[in-house]
Chains A and B, each alone.
Chain A
Amino acid sequence: MHIEKQAVRIGFNPLTDCASLVMAAVLGLDERHGIRIVLSRESSWAGVRDKLVTGELDAAHALLGMVYGTQLGIGAQRHDMAVLMNLNRNGQAITLSRRLMAQGAVDGPSLAALMQGERRSYVFAQTFPTGTHAMWLYYWLAAHGIDPLRDVRAITVPPSQMVYNLTEGHMDGFCAGEPWGQRAVMDGIGVTVATSQQIWPDHPEKALATSRAFADAHPNTCRALVAAVLEASRWIDASVENRRATAEILTGGGTVATDRAALLPRMLGQYDDGMGRQWQDAHPLCFHQDGAANYPYLSDGIWFMTQFRRWGLLKSHPDYEGTARAVTRLQLYREAAELAGVAVLPHSLRSATLLDGGTWDGADPERYALAFPIRQR
């Protein structure tokens, strides 16, 4: 098989969930499939998006929501994108400042009660306007009767600056990927009031994304890449030892700028909310789940579009299914999964019950988007 491009330049943001891309390169799984992964550490999501558009990066660790935001032209110019596979599920968190905790806000209902009683401007940060964390944060607030567009000021802050800004008192809380939730707890700055898996158990998070043009011109390269990353995902999830080794590599080489003590516990599903509660999570950060975590469900992509519509980022309904089908490379994924010996699931839609009791099964996105009591009108 002719590999169109052997050296594949892949961008990532320094977060725990970039692990499978890093490990695909470290374990040499890329070479097994005839490619070479060249990792490029990026400092912003918008930068990743721009570089995918210009071709400076071939593929990237990307927020699934951001890929759809780019496809639909929210913010930047519209550009055709491709999702090759999902990289992980779960493992993000909502953190509140200790100051807020001291005032009684220890979960969603108590935060809502506090905000009712003490009226002031509440500031919450997410990592990208069309990203996953913005949607988890908005969903969580709204599920507790807090309108994220009216009752709070939502701002964008890069993940690695969350703890600093919380320390300085610039904001009341944030939603971001790990290790930043754990770091805030360890530093005694914040408390974890919700994990993203409490909002949507086994939710999709990051995707392996590229531009449609790159996927069209390099199908064999893309297949090899997906196969290599699938093998890396399987390896990470295979044992606790492998997860430990992954944490070692992510923090040892300075890939993620924090120490192992901050990154490892939640990578192993061990949570400490900073308020005296410790638990082993039933839906921790997962990279593989026998392929379930990697399968790019169309309904996962459609969900983000329904939330963009819900919050007014889209003024009218997009062609939900058509867009998801155009973006998601299901056929390519199936072929790559076969190469890696990973089981492919028979359905492209899945069903889940979210935090507010709502069920999402991908069936009627228009109705779903407009059925929420709290939304942009």
Chain B
Amino acid sequence: MSRHLRIVLVHPPRESDASLRAAALQAGLTEAGYELVASLPADLHLPERIAQLQPDMIIVDAESDARDVLEHIVVATRDERRPIVMFTDDDKTSSMEAALEAGVSAYIVAGLQPERIKPVLNVALARFRKEQKLLHELADTKHKLAERKVIDRAKGVLMARHGISEDQAYQRLRTMAMNKNLKLAEVAQRLLDVEDLLG
């Protein structure tokens, strides 16, 4: 976690609305040595600016109505997620823990000592990465399982049609895959498609 984190801070759209909370957090981040790449107003250009800047993390005031604009970004970029950290005046640790538990985001209480901001953000990022890794692994496993099913069904078709053993059926699929430079599952799927077509 030694890499420099590129952070974008989102503040209310009109500068006059910028809360004391936001100012305090900004000071804290700078003091803690973060690279604050931008402090953006939560206006209509926010989604574009974030797409341009590609920050590692977004921090936003939990009480701000900017949250809905951010929600738009989350939904629009839901295939490439990034951690969003909220900060709030609410120091009820229970709600923070619950938020973390839900994997929604991290909550930072305003007025947090600058020296404590860094570990909190690092924990949030680590959690986020771990969660993303688990999600990818889950998707990967699901995908592999689906592939296995297709291959098994294709083997079954070959066995029934040619009266060969499971091992022989597998060898046939494999040879075909190597000759055609395709994945085993793709060859299996093609075979099943043809089977479907011809009945």
A-side residues, CB < 8 A to B, are 43-47, 50-51, 53-56, 74-77, 79, 123, 125, 127-130, 155-158, 160-161, 165, 170-171, 313
Contacts and interface: CB of A to CB of B under 8 A. Distances in A.
Q: At the interface, is chain A mostly helix, strand, loop or mixed?
A: loop
Given A46-B67, A128-B71, A156-B68, A170 B104 contact: no
B104 A129 contact: no
B26 interface: no
Contacts of A74: 75, 78
Contacts of A45: 67-68, 71
Contacts of B63: 43, 47
Given A46-B67, A56-B95, 10 more contacts: A43-B63, A43-B65, A54-B95, A55-B95, A56-B90, A74-B75, A155-B47, A156-B69, A165-B44, A171-B44
B61 to A, nearest CB: 9
Nearest to B47: A155
B65 A53 contact: no
A304 to B, nearest CB: 14
A76 B104 contact: yes
B53 interface: no
A161 B104 contact: no
B64 A55 contact: no
Contacts of B92: 56
Contacts of B110: none
Interface of B: 13, 43-44, 47, 62-72, 74-76, 78, 86, 90, 92, 94-95, 98-99, 102-105
A50 B68 contact: no
Nearest to A47: B67
Contacts of B62: 47, 50
Given A44-B65, A44-B66, A76 B74 contact: yes
A123 B44 contact: yes
B65 A160 contact: yes
Query: Nearest 10 A-B pairs (CB), nearest first?
Result: A156-B72, A158-B65, A44-B67, A129-B75, A46-B67, A54-B98, A46-B71, A43-B65, A75-B75, A44-B65
Given A54-B99, A55-B98, A74-B78, A128 B104 contact: no
A129 B72 CA distance: 6
Nearest to B63: A43
15 contacts: A44-B64, A44-B67, A44-B71, A46-B67, A46-B68, A50-B86, A51-B95, A53-B98, A53-B102, A75-B75, A123-B44, A125-B44, A129-B72, A156-B71, A165-B44
Contacts of B94: 55
A47 B65 CA distance: 8
Nearest to B76: A129
A313 B98 CA distance: 26
Contacts of A161: 13, 65
Contacts of A55: 94-95, 98
A89 to B, nearest CB: 23
Contact of A129 (B44, B71, B98, B99): B71
Nearest to B66: A44
